[in-house]
Amino acid sequence: MRDQRRLFHHGNWRRFFAFLVFVILASLDNAAAGVLPPLYAIIARAFATDDAALGLITAVYVIIVAIAATVWGYRGDQGQRKQILLIGTLVWGIGMVGSGLAASFWQLLLGQMVTAVGVGGISSVGFSIISDLIPIHRRGLAFSLWSLSQTSGGAVGALLASTVGALNWRWPFFIIAALGFLFAFLYLFTQEPVRGQVEPELTSLFAAGKQYEPRIQRQHLRLLLQQRSNQLLLLQSFFMALAYGSTIWIPRWAIARVQAEGFDLETATIVGNLFVTLFGLGYLFSIPAGHLGDRWQQRRADGRIRLTIIGLLGSIPFFTMLYFIPLQGIVIPANANILEMAWAVLVNSVTNGWAALTFIVALIGLSFYAFDQPNWAALITAVNLPEHRGTVIGMSRLARAMGNALSVGLAGFLFTKLAETAVPPLNYAIGLALFQALVLPAIGCYWLARKAVPADIAAVQNTLRQHAQTHL
């Protein structure tokens, strides 16, 4: 019985290898997304343009990823997913190479558009594959690793851009493309999981040597959008993006905090971003958060929902407090290089009371926040049939893209208006704190889903059970 509760059964190295390769691919596509923003200033100078023009590239990138995720997800639900994953990886790899070779703004835009088309396929199709690799009682843990890999990938992309990119802005694009091609090659040696193979209701069907044949059809799209659980979980995704899309400004808040202590802009930019990177350690809690979600869900039908509500409610006061804590008395050596600054940030986080408090509050807030993503992902798989999951996650990318775009625009406007009466960093602190109020509608969506989700999970299980009985 214990063996059945493991993420991977003992000796099933092929499944483990496929999961590992895919998780790394998922991190690399986020690394591809994280490269450009830190290089805005350098590339703007190279192409004689400005940061706003390069920001437009990022906006176009986000929109294309969302649309592509929906299309790729639907195509994956119709047929072979491994082929689509490989094609998607090759496409974004080629796009990254093209971005690195760009000799003008428009060539860079084209390269990033191609990259976005490929990246869109990894999130939706890969999501579907994970749901067929991992049993339902371990999906929270699996999706926590997937979510962590994406966050880590974005951080790696930004780190490459900030270090290697400072020497030559083209190199990070080439490095990430090369890694993508390498793991796409390794993925050739994996076996695509059979759709529905880990669903307990279909055990008898597979034991009889038969396959789960249903595939998505166009008329199913309307039914997916009419399902109560999908409506609430997609709306929840939109509100979370609306609340946290504004956090793209957190580095600017951190930089302003350091500047307020008398440091010049260049030093404040490096030190502020180092503090933000350190705060990100809280994302590691997504692993136990996913595991706890698995445990609670086995005990009660709305276990994941209740746990996630607790997590999000717990995060609000800590994030709100975080934005108003000053970074007084931090000590950075004069003329320090980036390694010396990184060490100074670590030392300050232990020896400086304000910096230590900021780190602890950020860590706790992110730990509570980490309950959301892996358990949301596990819920969306549980309320949808195997042949619908890629399409639904593509729809969620569209919902998040709309929420993020609206959030970033509102945040910029709000910070500008607040600056008329509150000088930086206070304007950023007030604005970011106000956006925490938008987490409440996201929590409300979970609260309304307490009855819908268990009912839809039962409906999916019943449909699978009936299919197995009919085709035996």
Report the chain (472 residues): mean pLDDT per 10 consecutive residues: 45 72 81 81 83 78 90 89 87 94 94 93 82 86 85 81 80 92 84 86 90 91 95 97 86 84 82 83 89 93 95 96 91 86 92 94 94 94 94 93 86 88 89 95 96 95 92 77
Q: Which domains does the chain have, with CATH numbers?
A: 13-193 (1.20.1250.20), 223-472 (1.20.1250.20)
Q: d(Cα 141, Cα 138) in Å, to the nearest integer? A: 6
| List of E strands, 117-239 | none
Please give the structure tokens belonging to residue 298.
Answer: 């086995």
- Residue carrying the six token digits 């440091």: 263
Task: Give the number of C-alpha atoms closer than 13 A to the C-alpha of residue 208, restricted to the C-beta side.
Answer: 12
Instruction: Enumerate residues 6+ apart whose C-beta is below 8 A from 52.
Output: none
Listed as own residue / partner, the contacts of 258-262 with beta carbons closer than 8 Å and 24 or more positions apart are: 258/327, 258/330, 259/424, 259/425, 260/326, 260/327, 260/424, 260/425, 261/327, 261/328, 261/329, 261/330
The per-residue pLDDT for 113 is 95
Task: Reduce the secondary structure of 309-378 to three states and give it as a string.
Answer: HHHHHHHHHHHHHHCCCCCCCCCCCCCCCHHHHHHHHHHHHHHCHHHHHHHHHHHHHHHHHCCHHHHHHH
The per-residue pLDDT for 186 is 84
The per-residue pLDDT for 226 is 95
The per-residue pLDDT for 32 is 86
The per-residue pLDDT for 5 is 45
pTM: 0.88
Note whether 54 and 106 are within 8 A (CB): no
